[in-house]
Amino acid sequence: MINNEKMFIKKVMKKTVIGITVVGKDREGIVATFTNFVFSQSGNIEKVNQNVIKGLFGMYLEASFTNKIDVNNFDSEIQKLAKKEKMDVNTHHETNTEKNIAVFVTKESLCLETILTAANKKSLKGNISVIIATEKTLEPLAKKSKIPFIIIEEKNQEKAEAEIIEVCKKYNVDLIALARYMKILTPNFVWRYPNRIINIHPSLLPAFAGALAYAQAYERGTKIIGVTSHYVTENLDQGPIIFQDSFDVNPNDSLEEIKVKGQRLEAATLLKAIKMHLENKLEVRWRKVHIKSK
């Protein structure tokens, strides 16, 4: 029997989370300027990470809002502040819509082919919006999939990254996948996409760091060889590890046979990491990647 007493239902307010990256010339007071801005918008600081390298300042703020917030107005106001402070500021909003993916490549095809196959089979919860390359070798794959293919020919890395940043802004990129991209990204770029750049490395990090990992493993006569997918940080091959896998090595295997085995595993492990990220199943805490239970 239902009585006339009032029933009170406690509503749990869903948080709106906004990631904010700030990059520019280091100077005093810049941290307080942007944290105070968040507080002025009735926000709470969930995470803050800052770095300074050779006078370059980079900061990532994750702000949450329990009250309804006009995201467009927030973005507009923080850009006004960015202009005043002469800092490059970007905001990132996690949504349930498909994320835009940029795939960075050089000339090795298998990782890109594996990602494109997954996209064609609709098994990626994201849209490959652009492929960015250092040369034209893989352009036919992009044309076949009808995906924009942008070649960055600039040899100076800082100038090249300035071009890449504009391309990423144009295509509203949420996630960057390094599919055997043979360039080292600078802090100026990496800090703009915290925990949103995934790389694949041909070894079980932190061992055999660098470009000749398979040759090192071959020369040392290792019995297993592994691959590591990880988020990219300003420190080469030192970012939070997402997944690792390995394969057995027969003493009679040639270096080429090892490479073939390794490249197949690279592609599979990179794709697994990308899928998990797109499904919001990964969380970085204290430099470790945790897989969410729900």
Catalytic residue flag (residue 26): no
> What's the rounded Cα separation, in Å, for the pair 130 and 155?
20
**Close Cβ partners of 195 (under 8 Å, ≥ 6 residues apart):** 231, 240, 284
Choice among 88, 237, 245, 248 that is catalytic: 237
> What tokens appear for 154 in the block?
């600039």
The β-bridge partners of 227 are 245
Task: Give the separation between CA 125 and CA 279, rounded to whole angstroms.
Answer: 7
Output Rg (C-alpha) for the chain, integer angstroms.
Answer: 22
- Provide φ and ψ at 285, rounded to 5°: -135, 125
Q: Per the structure block, which two tokens stand in for 95?
A: 């949504």
Phi, psi of 16 (to 5 degrees): -100, 125
Which contiguous run of DSSP H or E holds residue 111? helix 110-120
In this structure, which amino acid lies at residue 220?
R
Q: Render the burial of 166-187: b for 16+ CB within 10 Å, e for the rest.
A: ebbeebebbbbbbbbbeeebeb
User: Annotated catalytic sites, by residue?
Assistant: 237
